[in-house]
Each structure stands twice: as C-alpha cells, then as structure tokens.
Amino acid sequence: MPATSTDYYEMLGVARNADGATIKSAYRKLAMQHHPDRNPGCTESEGKFKAISEAYDCLKDPQKRAAYDQYGHERYTQAASGGGGGRGHPGGDFADLGDIFETIFGGFAGGGGGRQQARRGADLRYNMEITLDEAFDGAERQITIETSQVCETCDGDGAEPGTGMRTCNLCKGVGQVRAQQGFFMVERTCPNCHGRGQVIEKPCSDCRGEGRIDAPQTLDVTIPPGVDTGTRIRLSGKGEAGPFGSPPGDLYIFLRIKPHKVFERDGSNLVTEVPISFTTAALGGSIDIPNLDGETITVEIPAGIQSGKQLRKRGAGMPVLQARGRGDLIAEIVVETPTRLSKEQKEILARFRETETGDECPKSKGFFDRIKDVLGA
C-alpha cells in the first residue's frame, strides 16, 4: 500500500468496482497487519491503520461510497471535515455532506431543509352503544368528551394577547438545525421552536404557549338509519386540537348495537324465533309479529310445518345503510310440545294415537324402517 496514497480504493488495494465482501476482506487483512497492538511505538503503522479505517468506513456504506465515487476524494473529505470546498469557496460547490446527499438521494436524514409543517392534532375514538330501534329509525345523540381545544384567549397561536412572534435565534427561522455526526451533517427539528421557525415573545397565560387547552366538548351526533355494530361515524375536525394553531384531528364514533328482546340482526335482515303449538304446526294458521316500525306483520303458517323452518317477509327488515330499500324479516319456527295437558286433552291425544298409521309423520316412519333394515328385522 503506497504510503502517500490519498485514494480510498488504493489504500485498501481493491478495484473501484469491488463488492462489499472484497472490501471487507482487504480491510481486515490490512488492519491486522498495521494494528498498533502488533506494532507498538511505530508511528507509521499507526498512521496507516487510521487511514485504512477511514477508507473502510466510507466504502462499506453504500451512500457514502456513492458520494465518494461521484465527487472524488478531495471534495468528499473536505465536506466530511466541514471545511473548504463549500458554497462560495473556490474548491467546490457543496458546504457539507448533507448537501451532497440532498443532490444524490433527494434529501438526507429527513433533510431538504425548510420549516417543518405544522403537526395535525390527534384523531380520537368514542365508543357509543345504541338500541336496535335507534339503528332502525336513526337518531340524534349528544355526547360530551374531554379533549384539547383551541385556546380562546390566544386564538391558538400560543402568544399572550398584544404580543407577537420573533424569529428563532437557534435555527434562524428555518425550523431545523444541523449537527455534525462523523462524516455526516445531520438535520433535525429545532428544539427551541419545535420546527415553527418562530418563538413566542410572551406565552399565553391560559395555555402556557401551546395554543390549546383541555376542556369538555359537547357534540351532536347524527346516527343514520341502518347502522350496525362496527359502523364508524366520522366527525371531521372534532378531534384533538393541533398545537400552535395547526389543524385539529377527527373524532370517530364507533357504534355497538345492544341486544334486542325479540329480534337478532343478520346484516339488513331481522331474525326472530317464533314458537307455535303442535296443533298449529299440524293444521296451519297465522301469527302476528309487531315490527320495529310499529306495524304488525302477519305471517301465514302452512300446515305440516316443522321446527327450524324459516318464513320470510320481504322488505320488512332493517333499512340498508346509505341506500334504498330494506332487508327481510325472517321468522324461524319452533314447534313446541305441550307439557301441561288436561285430562280431556290427554284422552283426545290417546284416541288420535290409536288412529295413527305412520303415514302422518313420514320422516319418523322412514327412520324406523331404516332401523329395521339395519337390524334385519
């Protein structure tokens, strides 16, 4: 390795198109050779060790290497050291490595400079429980939430009335400051003005300069017909107020439907379980079901109906959210076996049983016929 070499590739003894593994291997070999512990008291080896470490630190990083390859050793090292070769200097066009990376990669460390945009207030969530009747008809609800709101004293700018703002002395109004970190010049939000570029001369006594205060807020919420559990209602701009007068967030109302005594919700359909007597199931008839809209729905029961059969009344269910029409009302039949019979009823049923041939209940007859076949009876 030439002692006077000023090129990182030459320092490590690798080609300019060498891959990362080759560069790493070359560095390890030279580092072991020139390490101060192996050459105690040798200033030449110590200097070489520092030089190859500097070369490897640059070439192992893809971004540093790209900047080095494009702008050369002299301008790269000048930018890394923060001297020479900057704007307004004869030696070059870049003030620091941050500028180089802005040119190559379109910004570095969130850079690009400029004042930081105002941070929007946080979105908030509110869980609301409503009845099935409210979900059917729609409703108006009023809620009160505790959240940050724009300070009325200073109108959200954080300054005591009658006072103003001045340019931040630390960032000079840019909103960001730069700090040297090794080879890099890193940009970060100004800690003094929090990216605004300006500072308050005298903070508001009510909000202490933040531009917002915590206070209860009462809001009207419109619940449209047809909502369901999980429906989300967005109230734009009713979330947390942004700091220093920046835009507020939104409030999201998440709905949950309370269980109903009669109906269950199945999408836009209403489902109810309807118990009927075994005589009605055998002979047929009709039942009346009071609906959520106040109307009475009459459902015809066909003779011979079985438990589990669903009878559907189209258009008598829930409204479809943000659309026309309604779902269906579904009556699920449950045939109830009597448990309290009078003596006369028992006698009537006993006489009926004496007349049974098996054809009255074909499923039952078919089941026992299959049993006989299996048993070979």
User: What tens digit of pLDDT does each residue of 293-352 get?
Assistant: 999 999 999 999 999 999 999 999 999 998 889 999 999 999 999 889 999 999 999 998
Q: What pLDDT shows up at residue 286?
A: 92
What is the rounded end-to-end Cα distance, in angstroms, of the chain?
104
- The residue that leads in pLDDT, 86 or 271, is 271
Same domain (yes/no): 150, 200:
yes
Same domain (yes/no): 19, 100:
yes
Binding residue ranges for Zn(2+)? 151, 154, 168, 171, 190, 193, 204, 207
Distance CA 320, CA 299 (A): 22
Same domain (yes/no): 76, 96:
yes
CATH number at residue 19: 1.10.287.110
Same domain (yes/no): 129, 253:
yes
CATH number at residue 136: 2.10.230.10
Number of Cβ within a 10 Å radius of residue 187: 22
Same domain (yes/no): 28, 136:
no
Provide the domain count of the chain.
3
Residue 371 above 50 pLDDT?
A: yes
Number of Cβ within a 10 Å radius of residue 40: 8
Same domain (yes/no): 176, 94:
no
Instruction: Tell if the pTM clears 0.85, that is, is over it.
Output: no
Residue 49 above 70 pLDDT?
A: yes
3-state class (DSSP) for residue 94: coil
The boundaries of the domain holding residue 250 are 124-257
Same domain (yes/no): 148, 249:
yes
| Sequence-distant contacts of 19-27: CB under 8 A, at least 24 apart | 20/60, 23/56, 23/59, 23/60, 24/56, 24/60, 27/52, 27/53, 27/55, 27/56, 27/60
Q: What pLDDT shows up at residue 302?
A: 95
For β-strands 124-130 and 251-257, DSSP reports them as: parallel
**Phi-psi category of residue 267: left, alpha or beta, with phi > 0 → left and psi -120 to 50 → alpha:** left
Residue 348 lies in a domain: no
Residue 9 above 70 pLDDT?
A: yes
Non-local CB neighbours of 162 within 8 Å, separated by 6+ positions: none
* Segment 12-28 mean pLDDT: 87
Non-local CB neighbours of 121 within 8 Å, separated by 6+ positions: 148, 212, 239, 240, 241, 242, 243, 246, 247, 248, 249
Same domain (yes/no): 128, 251:
yes
Instruction: Identify which of 251, 266, 312 has the alpha carbon closest to the alpha carbon of residue 126.
Output: 251
DSSP H stretches of helix in the chain: 8-12, 20-34, 43-59, 62-81, 97-105, 132-137, 278-283, 343-354, 362-375
Binding residue ranges? 151, 154, 168, 171, 190, 193, 204, 207
- The residue that leads in pLDDT, 132 or 175, is 132
- The residue that leads in pLDDT, 270 or 122, is 270
CATH number at residue 323: 2.60.260.20
The model's pLDDT over 236-250, given as tens digits with 9 standing for 90+, comes to 999 998 877 778 899
The model's pLDDT over 147-199, given as tens digits with 9 standing for 90+, comes to 888 888 888 888 888 887 888 888 888 888 887 766 677 888 888 887 778 88
Q: What pLDDT shows up at residue 346?
A: 92
pLDDT tier at 289 (50, 70, 90 boundaries)? very high
Same domain (yes/no): 142, 238:
yes
Residue 232 lies in a domain: yes
Return the bridge partners of 149, or none: 213
Instruction: Look over the chain and give the mean of its residue pLDDT values, rounded to a whole number.
Output: 82
Tell me, what DSSP letter sits at residue 197? S
Same domain (yes/no): 237, 294:
no
Q: What pLDDT shows up at residue 105?
A: 44
* Segment 203-219 mean pLDDT: 87
Token digits of residue 316: 């008598």
Residue 371 lies in a domain: no
Residue 377 lies in a domain: no
The model's pLDDT over 71-125, given as tens digits with 9 standing for 90+, comes to 777 777 766 665 544 433 333 444 445 444 444 444 333 444 444 455 788 899 9
